[in-house]
């Protein structure tokens, strides 16, 4: 008499459900979102969306590639570099080592732009230090009639930004150029966006940022203010009447950058991110006195 076949393991053992729990425990020491990290890596290994995995795959076998992805994350490699993508505002961007990973906090700049323009729209957008193209392409997605230019000094960033524009169907509205901030830019724009490097050299960072993301997109001299000193004095000549320049800042830099903006003859306003921390300075031209 032959033995009966072994019973299948109870739900949650040797399947995706338990593998997610194990991975999340391993990430908990260094990640603020360990469960989400595990789910994103599992969905990537499966080649499906996270939502589809959660709704119908939790008791499926663990795919062979998942362990290697977990090992990379345990080495503090950012999730976005492992999966090759990052969601930002209303778009999904391709990202890769050598290009700064877009953060949710940077969506504050798009929110500020939407509030500034209200029912109207910026026809032209300039993105200084475009990186993956996140701010420019998010703005063009927000305003389908707009066109824009992204500037970066990194060839790797420009290649990824250009590829993102093509994939998102915006190649005819987005132009990317190699440059040093505003040097060589002669046109004027309704909206100027910038997320420059603003971290001081001695500021501590998490390993996944310090060891993996491009140094030039993170750190700036003069206590993190060097890029603003290059950008802010040029804003007056680059802004169209009624336009706005919106600059991301570190949470301690509001007063210093606002003072630069005021010194350039523009009106500064501070905008906080969803966590309530100072995140952006909005620079606008003062109203013309017609009295």
Q: Is residue 87 part of a domain?
A: no
What is the C-alpha separation between 263 and 257, in angstroms, rounded?
10
Cα Rg, the chain, nearest whole Å:
22
Does 90 fall in a domain? no
Domain presence at residue 46 = yes
Q: Which helix (H) or strand (E) holds 156?
A: helix 155-167
Angle at the Cα of 138 (from 132 to 142), degrees rounded to 5? 165
* Domain range enclosing 131: 96-284
Evaluate whether residue 63 is within a structural domain: yes
CA gap 55, 214 in Å, rounded: 36
Q: What is the pLDDT of residues 23-32, one digit of tens each?
A: 999 999 999 9
Q: 230 and 104, same structural domain? A: yes
pLDDT by residue (tens digit) across 214-256? Answer: 999 999 999 999 999 999 999 999 999 999 999 999 999 999 9
Q: What CATH number is associated with residue 162? A: 3.40.50.150
Contacts of 4 (CB under 8 A, 6+ apart): none
Residue 104 located in a structural domain: yes
Q: Burial code of 274-286, b = ≥16 C-beta within 10 A, e = fewer?
A: eeeebbbbbbbbe
The count of structural domains within the chain is: 2
Position 10 confidence tier, pLDDT thresholds 50, 70, 90: very low
Name the least confident of 6-10, 11-15, 44-48: 6-10
pLDDT score at 1: 46
Does position 116 have pLDDT exceeding 90, yes or no? yes
What is the pTM for the complete model shown? 0.91
The Cα–Cα gap between 151 and 175 comes to 9
Instruction: Write the pLDDT tens digit of every residue in 266-280.
Output: 999 999 999 999 999
């Amino acid at each position: 008499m032959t033995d009966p076949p072994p019973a299948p393991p109870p739900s949650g053992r040797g399947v995706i459900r338990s593998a997610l729990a194990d991975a999340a425990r391993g990430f908990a020491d260094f990640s603020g979102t360990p469960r989400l990290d595990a789910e994103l890596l599992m969905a990537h290994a499966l080649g499906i969306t996270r939502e589809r995995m959660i709704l119908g795959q939790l008791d499926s076998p663990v795919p062979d590639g998942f362990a290697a992805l977990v090992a990379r994350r345990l080495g503090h490699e950012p999730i976005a570099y492992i999966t090759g993508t990052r969601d930002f505002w209303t778009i999904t961007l391709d990202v890769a080592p050598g290009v700064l990973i877009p953060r949710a906090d940077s969506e504050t700049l798009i929110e500020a732009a939407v509030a500034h323009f209200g029912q109207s729209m910026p026809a032209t957008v300039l993105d200084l230090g475009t990186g993956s193209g996140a701010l420019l392409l998010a703005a063009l997605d927000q305003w389908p009639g707009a066109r824009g230019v992204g500037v970066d000094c990194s060839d790797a960033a420009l290649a990824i930004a250009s590829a993102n524009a093509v994939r998102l169907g915006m190649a005819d509205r987005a132009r990317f150029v190699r440059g040093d901030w505003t040097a060589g830019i002669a046109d004027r724009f309704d909206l100027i966006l910038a997320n420059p490097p603003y971290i001081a050299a001695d500021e501590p960072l998490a390993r996944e940022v310090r060891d993996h993301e491009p140094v030039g997109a993170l750190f700036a001299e003069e206590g993190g203010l060097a890029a603003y000193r290059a950008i802010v004095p040029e804003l007056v000549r680059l802004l169209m009447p009624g336009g706005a320049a919106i600059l991301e800042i570190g949470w301690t830099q509001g007063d210093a950058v606002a003072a630069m903006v005021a010194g350039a003859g523009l009106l500064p306003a501070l905008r906080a991110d969803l966590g309530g921390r100072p995140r952006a300075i909005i620079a606008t031209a003062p109203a013309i006195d017609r009295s």
